[in-house]
Amino acid sequence: MATLLDKTRTTLVMIKFEHSVFALPFALTGALLAARYAGPGWPEWRQIGWIVVAMVGARSAAMTLNRIADLEYDRRNPRTASRALVTGVLTQRFAWSFALLSSAVLVFAAWKLNRLALLLSPVALGALFLYSYTKRFTAYSHLVLGLCLGIAPAAAWIAVTGSLDWRMVVLCGAVTLWVAGFDVLYALQDVEFDRGAGLHSIPERFGVGQALWMARVMHVFVVALLGWLAWSFQLAWPAWAGVAAVAGLLVYEHSLVGPNDLSRLDAAFFTTNGFISILFFVSWGTALWVGR
């Protein structure tokens, strides 16, 4: 019989816990920018710690609920038929418990940060939970997913300062379009299933070729918004090097996927985007250090 530890490990595998790396570096960048331009210069270690806890709690809650909400579709989709909830390795009761506990972790971390973060934590949870149902009624669920991750740097700014700067909306927009673009690519592998199941996505609505172009346009805007943000903060040269690196990796990502070749989709989705988020954080963190 599976122990609590075994079930927890299985849940972490199911929600791809390691992919927390996608949004976390952007949140930490938001915290560094907040402390540099509206605070004491550098965030406290306590703030960084609770931001990380909040991010992990938020993503774990959202992804677990997503698996619960999509259980019937996962049963019918050959690509997802081996997932733990489908096979019965995990029960829905345990998954719900894990999702609620993760939600509580987010709220507790927000409480430890400041009052505004606490007041906004239910709003963040509402957005995260809404995403799980958007494919049922709109082809633009990719943008909702993007927004769920895109609010991370703005939330981190609030966590450090207790207020919000308009420039974080720009970074939120960049992250939203970055995530939405690569989620469009990821959705390419389920086009036929989505059509048969009555689910909606950009590839399902517009076709594979058009979806690829829409993802490319989103990622062009990502680079433009990051450049605008670096200029607005008057960041040092490493930030611009980071923008150039992001642009190069996005070009590489799109070179891996074509209308008739999805064989390298995992490399485009997981590896390349992991590098993008980490390189962005390192380059912008270095820019803040150089320009302090």
At residue 231 the predicted structure's pLDDT band, cuts being 50, 70 and 90, is very high
Tally of domains in the chain: 1
Residues 190-209 have a mean pLDDT of 94
Residues 6+ apart with CB under 8 A from 191: 201, 203, 204, 208
- Of 241, 246, 238, 250, residue with least CA distance to 285: 238
Examine residue 226 and state whether it is found in any structural domain, yes or no.
Answer: yes
Is residue 292 over pLDDT 70?
no
CA atoms of 183 and 185, how far apart (whole Å): 5
The token pair at 82 is 């081996």
- Mean pLDDT across 211-237: 96
Q: Region 275-285: what's the mean pLDDT?
A: 94
| In-domain check, residue 2 | no
> Counting Cβ atoms within 10 Å, is residue 188 exposed (0-12), middle (13-18) or buried (19+)?
buried
Phi, psi of 258 (to 5 degrees): -130, 170
CB atoms within 10 A of CB 40: 9
Measured in whole angstroms, the distance separating CA 52 from the mean position of its chain's CA atoms is: 14
What confidence category does residue 158 fall into, taking pLDDT thresholds of 50, 70 and 90? very high
pLDDT for residue 113: 95
Q: What is the mean pLDDT of residues 169-182?
A: 95
- The mean pLDDT value for 155-177 works out to 93
pLDDT in tens, 47-90: 999 999 999 999 999 999 999 999 999 999 998 889 889 998 88
Q: Does the pLDDT value for residue 1 go beyond 60?
A: no
What domain range includes position 238? Answer: 16-290
What mean pLDDT do residues 189-214 have?
A: 94
Residue 19 has pLDDT above 70, yes or no: no
- 242-258 pLDDT tens trace: 999 999 999 999 988 88
Is 11 contained in some domain?
no
Give the residue-averaged pLDDT of 218-225.
98
Q: Quick check: is 5 in a domain?
A: no
Query: Which residues, at least 6 apart from 54, have a Cβ–Cβ distance to it below 8 Å?
Result: 105, 106, 109, 110, 113, 117, 121, 155, 159
- Residue pair 105/53 in contact (Cβ under 8 Å)? The answer is yes
Share of the chain above pLDDT 90, in %: 71
For residue 225, name the pLDDT band (cuts at 50, 70, 90).
very high
Q: At residue 221, does pLDDT exceed 70?
A: yes
- Domain presence at residue 9: no
Q: Note the pLDDT of residue 290.
A: 86
pLDDT band at 15 (very low <50, low <70, confident <90, very high): confident
3-state secondary structure of 291: coil
Residue 1 covered by a domain: no
Which tens digit of pLDDT belongs to each residue from 103-151? 999 999 999 999 999 999 999 999 988 999 999 999 999 999 999 999 9
pLDDT averaged over every residue in the chain? 90
**Higher pLDDT residue, 236 or 259?**
236
- Burial (CB < 10 A; 0-12, 13-18, 19+), residue 221, is middle
pLDDT at 257: 85
Res. 284 pLDDT band, cuts 50 70 90: very high
Indicate whether 8 belongs to any domain: no
Q: Give domain status of residue 153, yes or no.
A: yes
* CATH number for the domain harbouring residue 65: 1.10.357.140
Judge whether residue 209 has pLDDT over 60.
yes
pLDDT at 267: 63
